[in-house]
A and B are shown apart, each in its own frame.
Chain A
Amino acid sequence: MNGDIIAINFPFIVVALLLALGFYTIGFKRNLIKVVIGVEILEGAVNLFLIALGYVKGGYAPIYTLAPKKAVGNMVLPTPQALTLTSIVIGVAVSALMLAFAVNIYRHYGTLDVTKIRRLRG
């Protein structure tokens, strides 16, 4: 039974591992660019999770243009795809702004090491 659920829920387990990887990168890496990459990994994990939620076994893409006959009444859920689209764009926006700040920090301190730029402590 337990082995079964691992096989069936494999995409969700991948999502969990990716989330853990993202948190590890954010928490334990010292380079600011790597922290940004960690946030991106989290972003990817959550997007993968949303898409995986919408999957229906044997389903077709929810588009009627020139679809195969079998597709009618057998489509994957469209809402998670719409949500993922939104969340991807938001991810792009966040990473662009984070990188802009990283550029500014590098210009100012000459380093991207988070332990060296923390002057705001206290």
Chain B
Amino acid sequence: MRKALGLFAFLGFTLFLLGAAMSLRPFGAPPHAEMDHYFITHAQEQASANNVVTSIVFDYRGFDTLGEATVLFTAVAGVLMALRRREVSS
């Protein structure tokens, strides 16, 4: 019973997602791209880098990348902590 209900909800959700995909703007033709246009035209002069993606990653949206590096740092600390030896001195 519970599984059937779950399957029903799941099918509904799938249809919902498909509906979202259908109603999205056509693929390959982004309607608004002022921000990206700015990056493409100004990256070489402002960040002095040929690679526009890198100039976004480290300059225009560099703060996100700090967060991203922090996520990795957090995960490494978490993994090392979760798998540390048991040495509880009580």
The count of A-to-B residue pairs whose CB atoms sit within 8 angstroms is 133
Interface of B is mostly: helix
For chain A, give the interface size range.
35 or more
Interface of A is mostly: helix
For chain B, give the interface size range.
35 or more
Chain B residues with CB under 8 Å of A13's CB are 18, 21-22
Contact present for A101 and B82 (CB under 8 Å): yes
Q: Which of B6, B18, B50 contacts A65 (CB 8 A)?
A: B50
Chain A residues with CB under 8 Å of B68's CB are 85-86, 89-90
Q: Which of B24, B65, B76, B83 contacts A104 (CB 8 A)?
A: B83
Q: Which residues of A contact B (CB under 8 A)?
A: 5-6, 8-13, 15-17, 19-20, 23-24, 27-28, 52-57, 62-65, 75, 77-79, 81-83, 85-86, 89-90, 92-94, 96-97, 100-101, 103-104
